[in-house]
Structure 1
Amino acid sequence: MNEWLTAREIAAERLPDMPESERGVQVLAARNGWDGSAQSRKRPGRGGATEYHFSLLPTLAQVAFQQKHMVVELPTKPAKPTPDASLSARAQQERDARLAVVAAFEKFSRGLQLGYATRVQVFTDKFNAGSLVTETWVREIVPSLSKRSLARWQSQKRDGKANRLGHDPAQARKGTGVLETANEGKVRAFMLAAIAAQPHLSAAAVRTQCRYEFGDTLKVVSKGVEATIAMPPVRTFQHALKGLKSSHKIELIKLTNPDQYRSHLAPAGVGMLRHVSEPNQLWQIDASPVDALCVDGRYSVYACIDIATRRTIWLLSKTPRASAVALLIRKAILEWGVPDKIKTDNGSDFVARDIQRLFASLGIEFELSDPYQPQQKGHVERVIGTMQHDLGPLLPGFVGHSVADRKAIENRKAFSQRLGETEAETFGVSLTGPELQKHIDDWTTKIYQHRPHAGLKDRTPFAVALASTKAVRTVDERALDLLLMPVAGSDGQRIVTKFGVRIDHHHYQTPTIMPGTAVFVRMDPNDAGRAYAFAQDGAEFLGEAICPELSGLHPATLVRAAKEIRAELIDERTRDLKANMKKLAKGPSLIERALEVASRDIPNVIPLSRREEVHSTAHIEAAIAAKAERLNPSKPLDPAAAAAHRRLIEEMRAEEEAELTASTEAILEQRMAEVAAERTAGLPENVVKLPETPRERYRRALAYRARMQAGDLSAADAMWLGGYVTSAEFKAQSAMHEDFGDAYLS
């Protein structure tokens, strides 16, 4: 009975509880994990289809299969188990040797009319005696055999646990090395961190770093006893580092080469844009340097891919710039129609204001991928790679996809041959930019779009686009060209003056637009002397702007015509305004109108009289006296009366000064008494109270000065200070202070 069947053979058996199609059986096998089990294998020979052991089938299916095909006969030799990635090569060899011994015992037992125990005894005796013919590699792995081992191996094979027969001493010792267990695993962690931080460290350098970190000895545990050992030699570190780099390969790549991890190892989804099913529903755009040189240098290629159909449009540009993106959009729109959405990265040429304005003018939704996340627009990234790898090597001037490729191409010639050669001679450069553009376009239309694509279920981009029934949104080519031509500088924004608008040191007359109007200007793509002015948002056309120097018109004639148009426009706009101004001039004046309205707003209330009192000051009295003097001028006095009048004034002034002096002296005497009392307030009664010395008065004067600067000095103290600073004593004390410094005050 053939116990191993392919998916097609299982489907042909039409067993209960089993699919009746090959694809159905494959789906069931994938769902139940048959491919990863020990009961699956590749059929030897051409084709190599996967075979499954009938024991994987459901119970009813197994019973039905055995009823149809079981034949009582000698069992055939079991097939060699397929390699298992979970076992090392050594363990697989150990397993296969033990399975060979079990198979030899089963073959030995056939036809013997002996009990099981007797057969085991005879077989083990003959095996240990070397009487049985055994392959050399089996004898090397199993030099002797016991009855207990043979029974255990049979049981594990019978239970479908053949992999347990594999034994690798190296795997058993894995993780038990000195450097892996030393210092409770801290040495291992430190070594891993060291090679993650600097992958190029040699084993000797890592050993040196470990000596700095842990000293010249390490602590290890052997058979439950902690011991101190010397730092292992470099050879031990080499073995340990090799194991760490192998067991932590993914983690180290993630830390040391994030781009490689993201490109080759990071989880990635498939079919994330399957909802995009119609042409022009979503485009992706990106740029990359071409892997080939031209006679005028290296170009960048801009790629646009339609996600639903995988069609592509390409445009070469000498340097990455926003105008190249605009021309790529123009080329794609004229070829395919207007898209619903375009997705790009965050490059300056894609996020330029001109590009955003172009998308807004065309009604295209603009989507940006996150910074440094090229996988978010993986379709255009992959199609650029397809073009570079498919077309690039066919082009003259191909320089390779990487630095290593470039070096390999250069090495086709000896260094002596390359010496003195230009880059063009080394790489055989012969294409111009337009020629390269033609090659890319021809490759797209003749090769790429007629090649089956896996993402299109093996259909071609040309066939998918042709089968679509979605209406194509078209744009007038001249209008599209106009949208692509904003004037340079200030993002196309201009302010209209009496000279018009200024573009590249030329003035363009705008007779239909009033001075002071902010406009957005686009150039006529076919006439450098003509421009078009729009509202600032570009949604409303305001008028033409013409430059007489560039359009070939006579400047004086154009200016005269512009003035006439402006005059007619202003007359039309001011005709009704002038009529209303005449009506306004015939009636009351503006102030009379304002006062009449204000009088209507005054409330109809009469205020009651209020209590009054006379307010007077010296200035008011003087003003009243001056007014009275003007109304009733005084008569001049005779000489005798004038002399008497002056004498009375002097006597009154002298009396006032005497009173002021007496009052001041009284205040000063009272203040001096208070100062003296404050100075002696803390002295006992039996202590003689000495008068204030000149030095003490000087210190008090300095203190008063400080308080005066702070605005905290009383009037009495200020009067005393004013008199004291003019005295000879103050001057003498001040001189002493200058000579001896602050030590004099102590």
Structure 2
Amino acid sequence: MEYVRRYSLENKISFDPFDLQADISQSTFYRHANKLIKKDADVRNFLRGGLDALGDMNISVKRDYLNENEEWQIDATKYDFMCLNEMGEPQRYEAIGMIDVASGKLVYELAESPNSYANVRLLKKAFLKMGRPGYIKGDNGKDYVSKHFQGVLARLGVSYIAAAPFKGYQKGVIERAHGVMQNFFENLPGFIGHNAGERIKKENEALEKSKRLSGVKTNITNLLTKAEMQATIDRYCERKSKFSKDVDSGWFDERVFGKSYGRVLNAGGININNMIYQSLELYKNLKIGDSVEVIEDIDDISKMYVYAKGEFVCVVEDDERQNISAEKLKKAKKEYHKENIAPVKNYIKSLRDEKDAYYKKIAKQNLDEKMK
């Protein structure tokens, strides 16, 4: 119809949608249209994806021009396995990966959920195994553009390039690595399938219907622990990457991987999250009232690293809290909220609901009386 309309417009004749006439037959039109679609990529892209597809050129070239450790890519994926957590319960983890585009060397870290601490631990592992990258490419996820993750990169002098939204091909190397890694481990216990259909099939294979338990995360047995699965993934990466034992780590600084806090030095020390950190070294190098930057130790919250004007000053400690990781502290806060705060909130909500139900009942009775 559109062809006929345009034909009528160009030839200055009336257009009647109920009496379509043109200079060619319908079959001739389709034949020529198919030739055009095959020949013209813009027409083909428009018909497949509309206007958005016209700007999506997706140009790709052979990437031999990249040198090793010039571009790394980072991304997270839901891991298609159930593992046993620290409590011995089945849990599905996120697999966060980092790959060097030129060499294909890669590392992975399992985490309960994508977060800046998990990303930083992966970053630390990658630095020690692969060296130092020119830049890292990832997406615009909040964990990658967070102050914590970006602060660590800035302190180490590594740039971050965010891929455009919905342009997965811009970090396609790490996304393909996810698929290869997931497929490689399909025979391990705990594999739950790559999609919902495979998940149902795996669960059905695990146990006969009469013995299945309702409400459990999985009926699959003989699960590996998280530590065992992480060791298996590390072994996979070692064999695939053939890491060098002579990686330059002279530039590497263990003290820069934690979150950063700006504070003012006072006589009592430095207060971070209601914890007091103190050291006599502070007052040998600084004056009370001086501004400092404090960076946490992600493996031991009893320690903080103090910097002034970009220069390291000293380590400050809280002796009451030693050898507790930042993640464990975060988890303890969540558990406290779940056990103590959430029940109170739920109780308050139940009282509010009860009150609202009472007044709603009274209002309905009043309305019924009025309608009599």
- Alignment TM-score, normalising by the size of structure 1: 0.34
Q: Name the CA distance, whole Å, in 2 between partners of 1:315 and 1:306.
A: 15
> CA-to-partner distance for each residue in 1:440-468, whole Å, 9 max, x for gaps?
1222233xx2xxxxxxxxxxx54xx77xx
Letter aligned with residue 304 of structure 2: A
Aligned to 2:312: 541
Letter aligned with residue 268 of structure 2: F
Match of 1:254 among 20, 44, 49: 49
> CA-to-partner distance for each residue in 1:19-66, whole Å, 9 max, x for gaps?
xxxxxxxxxxxxxxxxxxxxxxxxxxxxxxxxxxxxxxxxxxxxxxxx
SS of the residue 1:493 aligns to: strand
Aligned to 1:145: none
SS of the residue 2:70 aligns to: coil
Alpha carbons 2:79, 2:93 under 8 Å: kept:
yes
Alpha carbons 1:295, 1:429 under 8 Å: kept:
no
Q: Say if 1:444 and 1:354 are closer, same or farther in 2 by CA, change over 3 A.
A: same
Q: Name the CA distance, whole Å, in 2 between partners of 1:423 and 1:429.
A: 15
Aligned to 1:532: 305
Alpha carbons 1:418, 1:426 under 8 Å: kept:
no
Letter aligned with residue 492 of structure 1: Y
Alpha carbons 1:183, 1:220 under 8 Å: kept:
no
Match of 1:522 among 288, 291, 295: 295
Aligned to 2:70: 281
Match of 1:502 among 271, 290, 300: 271
SS of the residue 1:541 aligns to: strand
The answer to which structure has the higher strand fraction is 2
Number of residue pairs matched by the alignment:
286
Q: Say if 1:308 and 1:504 are closer, same or farther in 2 by CA, change over 3 A.
A: same
SS of the residue 2:248 aligns to: coil
Q: Say if 1:369 and 1:405 are closer, same or farther in 2 by CA, change over 3 A.
A: same
Q: Say if 1:316 and 1:529 are closer, same or farther in 2 by CA, change over 3 A.
A: closer
Q: Say if 1:515 and 1:418 are closer, same or farther in 2 by CA, change over 3 A.
A: same
> CA-to-partner distance for each residue in 1:282-330, whole Å, 9 max, x for gaps?
2111111101122341111111111121111111111111111111111
Q: Percent identity?
A: 26
Letter aligned with residue 387 of structure 1: M
Alpha carbons 2:71, 2:136 under 8 Å: kept:
yes
Match of 1:398 among 191, 216, 221: 191
C-alpha deviation, 1:350, in angstroms: 1.0
Alpha carbons 1:294, 1:429 under 8 Å: kept:
no
Q: Name the CA distance, whole Å, in 2 between partners of 1:332 and 1:321.
A: 17
Alpha carbons 2:73, 2:138 under 8 Å: kept:
yes
Letter aligned with residue 511 of structure 1: Y
Please say if 1:271 is aligned against 2:61: yes
Match of 1:362 among 146, 156, 178: 156
Letter aligned with residue 497 of structure 1: N
> CA-to-partner distance for each residue in 1:536-573, whole Å, 9 max, x for gaps?
6xx2123443446558xxxxxxxxxxxxxxxxxxxxxx
C-alpha deviation, 1:185, in angstroms: 6.6
Q: Name the CA distance, whole Å, in 2 between partners of 1:252 and 1:404.
A: 31
C-alpha deviation, 1:220, in angstroms: 3.0
C-alpha deviation, 1:356, in angstroms: 1.5
The answer to which structure has the higher helix fraction is 1
> CA-to-partner distance for each residue in 1:74-117, whole Å, 9 max, x for gaps?
xxxxxxxxxxxxxxxxxxxxxxxxxxxxxxxxxxxxxxxxxxxx
Q: Say if 1:494 and 1:343 are closer, same or farther in 2 by CA, change over 3 A.
A: same
Q: Name the CA distance, whole Å, in 2 between partners of 1:182 and 1:483.
A: 64
Letter aligned with residue 508 of structure 1: Y
Q: CA RMSD in A?
A: 3.8
Give matches, 1:290-369, under 5 Å. Answer: 290-296=79-85, 297-369=91-163
Q: Name the CA distance, whole Å, in 2 between partners of 1:475 and 1:223.
A: 77
C-alpha deviation, 1:267, in angstroms: 5.8
Alpha carbons 2:206, 2:220 under 8 Å: kept:
no
Q: Say if 1:376 and 1:351 are closer, same or farther in 2 by CA, change over 3 A.
A: same
Q: Name the CA distance, whole Å, in 1 between partners of 2:22 and 2:69.
A: 71
Alpha carbons 1:303, 1:380 under 8 Å: kept:
yes
Please say if 1:219 is aligned against 2:18: yes
Q: Say if 1:249 and 1:269 are closer, same or farther in 2 by CA, change over 3 A.
A: closer
Give matches, 1:165-184, under 5 Å. Answer: 181=1, 184=4
Aligned to 1:8: none
Alpha carbons 1:500, 1:511 under 8 Å: kept:
no
Letter aligned with residue 263 of structure 2: R
Q: Say if 1:355 and 1:413 are closer, same or farther in 2 by CA, change over 3 A.
A: closer
Alpha carbons 1:295, 1:424 under 8 Å: kept:
no
SS of the residue 1:304 aligns to: strand
Q: Name the CA distance, whole Å, in 2 between partners of 1:285 and 1:388.
A: 16
Which is greater in Rg?
Answer: 1
> CA-to-partner distance for each residue in 1:336-376, whole Å, 9 max, x for gaps?
22222211211111111121221122121222222222211
C-alpha deviation, 1:485, in angstroms: 2.9
Aligned to 2:248: 473
Q: Name the CA distance, whole Å, in 1 between partners of 2:312 and 2:207.
A: 65
SS of the residue 1:406 aligns to: helix
SS of the residue 1:290 aligns to: strand
Q: Say if 1:403 and 1:222 are closer, same or farther in 2 by CA, change over 3 A.
A: same
Alpha carbons 1:182, 1:219 under 8 Å: kept:
no
Q: Say if 1:417 and 1:249 are closer, same or farther in 2 by CA, change over 3 A.
A: farther
> CA-to-partner distance for each residue in 1:393-414, whole Å, 9 max, x for gaps?
2232222222333344345579
Q: Name the CA distance, whole Å, in 2 between partners of 1:378 and 1:442.
A: 23
Q: Name the CA distance, whole Å, in 1 between partners of 2:258 and 2:21.
A: 80
C-alpha deviation, 1:484, in angstroms: 1.5
Q: Say if 1:532 and 1:302 are closer, same or farther in 2 by CA, change over 3 A.
A: same
> CA-to-partner distance for each residue in 1:411-448, whole Å, 9 max, x for gaps?
557994476445554344612211111221222233xx
Q: Name the CA distance, whole Å, in 2 between partners of 1:498 and 1:307.
A: 50
Match of 2:229 among 429, 432, 436: 436
> CA-to-partner distance for each residue in 1:184-232, whole Å, 9 max, x for gaps?
479xxxxxxxxxxxxxxxxxxxxxxxxxxxxxx97134799xxxxxxxx
Q: Name the CA distance, whole Å, in 1 between partners of 2:209 and 2:157.
A: 59
Q: Say if 1:549 and 1:445 are closer, same or farther in 2 by CA, change over 3 A.
A: closer
SS of the residue 1:394 aligns to: coil
Q: Name the CA distance, whole Å, in 2 between partners of 1:318 and 1:505.
A: 26
Q: Name the CA distance, whole Å, in 2 between partners of 1:353 and 1:312.
A: 25
> CA-to-partner distance for each residue in 1:249-274, whole Å, 9 max, x for gaps?
97565259x9xx89xxx764443532
Letter aligned with residue 49 of structure 2: K
Alpha carbons 1:302, 1:316 under 8 Å: kept:
yes
Alpha carbons 2:84, 2:223 under 8 Å: kept:
yes
Q: Name the CA distance, whole Å, in 2 between partners of 1:437 and 1:413.
A: 23
Letter aligned with residue 78 of structure 2: P
Q: Say if 1:402 and 1:528 are closer, same or farther in 2 by CA, change over 3 A.
A: closer
- Alignment TM-score, normalising by the size of structure 2: 0.65
Q: Name the CA distance, whole Å, in 1 between partners of 2:319 and 2:2.
A: 89
Alpha carbons 1:529, 1:550 under 8 Å: kept:
yes
Q: Name the CA distance, whole Å, in 1 between partners of 2:161 and 2:103.
A: 20
Letter aligned with residue 507 of structure 1: I
